[in-house]
Amino acid sequence: MKRTTAANTFASESGRSSSGTCCVVGGGPAGMMLGYLLARAGIEVLVLEKHADFLRDFRGDTVHPSTLEVMFELGVLDEFLKRSHQKQVHQVRARIGRDEILLGDFSLLSTHCRFMVMMPQWEFLDFIAEQARRYPTFHLRMETEATGLIEEDGRIVGVRGNSPAGPLEVRATLVVGADGRNSVVRDCSGLRVEDLGAPTDVLWMRLSKHADDPELFFYADRGRALFLTDRGDYWQCGVPAPKAAIAEMQAKGIEAFRAAIVELAPFFEDRVGELRNWNDLKLLTVTVNRMRRWYRPGFVCIGDAAHAMSPVGGVGINLAIQDAVAAANILAGPLCKGNVSPGDLAKIQRRRAFPTRLTQSVQALIQKRIAGHGLGNPGPTRLPWIVRLLERTTLPCRLRNRVIPVGIRPEHVKTPDILNAAYGIRREPLSISQAPYRAPGEPPC
């Protein structure tokens, strides 16, 4: 397999300038998965992550069956499930007003895992990094923040950044922006992002968990809502609130806020005092947007950098992973030959724009139902008609059970594994979808 060679390759950790095949900016779900898949296919890849570790709180914890299916196709599912995780969720239930309803039933899926895993994102990213490090062409530089792009003759040819050792310059055949919803490299590329507006922000907090607590994920009543994520010995709780209402809530005082939590979930009465003051809560701004064009010569964005997702349905991580799988499938061949055309990059957008648009539209509809008619409305909450329809009718019920856990247009790993190819190591039986990817008519590289 052809690889880029240079005096200072991605492997030379100390160098202030280096060059290689693909530089991924951002070590979140999208960037780490893409880095892993490309290295697994034998491509020299460098991931730049601005933080020193993956240990950040209040990040999504949901690993959906679509991502577990990717793990299966990669042959690492068993190892993944050995990692510490809170639980395997087979059904998602909620209480809306007085009604307890089923929001999703994973046991009816045809994927290998008929459940969702709740795993802190740091654990998930650490696992991907551990798998990727088995490949000599994978390089990860933590505490390295991209600050700009290098452009020559209208093409992006590299990244500028800062590391603990000082400023650095990375040159690459392709730069991938996977640095999340406030993407610096996207802004530097001059590509435009369309803001779709998000009516609510989310206040996050922790409350301790007791063994006999109800296993419900979502509560909504009398103009308030509460999301719960099981973190083992505590609940990570999210309270969505209209952007304009947050200051008003704070003005009413922490006592009123605590009382509102207890009204929704009475079992918190004995521990809501753990919220001593507003410093025990963290406000996370929700952004929903998408790029009109995801690429330009030498550069492409994926994940939240290309389309920031709202927390509704907890699908953002899985969309980011699906983008990474699609991007690797499309790019492995061209990167292997050292030549990525804008046409190759356009294929990524064509493949992923439809699932993104549709998912954002469904999220907007649900958010509108909550923020437009529910949040702030002091009357008793009744189930929106769309939820009743999803509950009771066969076809919508099937759609609900498939769309959230598996996503629209699920991606399958088509890139090869050089360890399998080189040493004949086979960790799980190969399925058709694991056949090495090759563009039509392209010789093996």
Ligand X SMILES: Cc1cc2nc3c(=O)[nH]c(=O)nc-3n(C[C@H](O)[C@H](O)[C@H](O)COP(=O)(O)OP(=O)(O)OC[C@H]3O[C@@H](n4cnc5c(N)ncnc54)[C@H](O)[C@@H]3O)c2cc1C
* Residue ranges that bind ligand X, judged by CB under 6 A: 25-31, 48-51, 59-62, 145-146, 178-180, 184, 202, 284, 286, 303-305, 309, 311, 314-318, 320
- First CA to last CA distance, the chain: 5
Least CB distance to ligand X at residue 149 (A): 11
Q: Which is nearer to ligand X, 30 or 371 (CB)?
A: 30
What 3-state DSSP class applies to 82? Answer: helix
Q: Does residue 61 contact residue 238 with C-beta atoms inside 8 Å? A: no
Rg (CA), the chain: 22
* Shortest spacing between CB 319 and ligand X, in angstroms: 6
Here the tokens at position 346 are: 């356009």
Choice between 119 and 157, CB closer to ligand X: 119
Tell me the closest approach of the beta carbon of residue 436 to ligand X, in angstroms: 26
Query: Letter for the amino acid at 330?
Result: I
* Amino acid type, 172: A
Q: CA–CA separation, 232 vs 182, rounded Å?
A: 30
Output the smallest distance, CB 346 to ligand X, in A.
Answer: 20
Q: How far apart are CB 382 and ligand X at their closest, in Å?
A: 26
Enumerate the β-bridge partners of residue 289: 195
Tell me, what amino acid is at 14?
A: S
Q: Please give the order of strands across the beta sheet that includes 62-63.
A: 62-63, 116-118, 87-89
Q: Minimum distance between the CB of residue 159 and ligand X, rounded to whole angstroms?
A: 8
Return the structure tokens found at 237.
Answer: 């709780």
Residue 292 CA to residue 303 CA, distance in Å, equals: 14
Compare residues 327 and 332 and give the one whose CB is closer to ligand X.
327
Nearer to ligand X, 333 or 355 (CB): 355
CB of 56 to ligand X, least distance (A): 7
Closest CA to 399 of 182, 173, 109: 109
Toward ligand X, which CB reaches closer, 41 or 241? 241
The nearest distance, CB 288 to ligand X, in angstroms, is 9
Short-list 251, 250, 194, 205, CA closest to 229: 205
Closest CB to ligand X among residues 345, 445: 345
Q: Which residues contact 218 (CB under 8 A, 6 or more apart)?
A: 92, 94, 95, 96, 103, 225, 226, 227, 228
Q: Which is nearer to ligand X, 60 or 65 (CB)?
A: 60
Rounded Cα distance, 123 and 325, in Å: 20
Q: Which residue has the tokens 């290309």?
A: 306
By C-beta, is 206 or 336 nearer to ligand X? 206
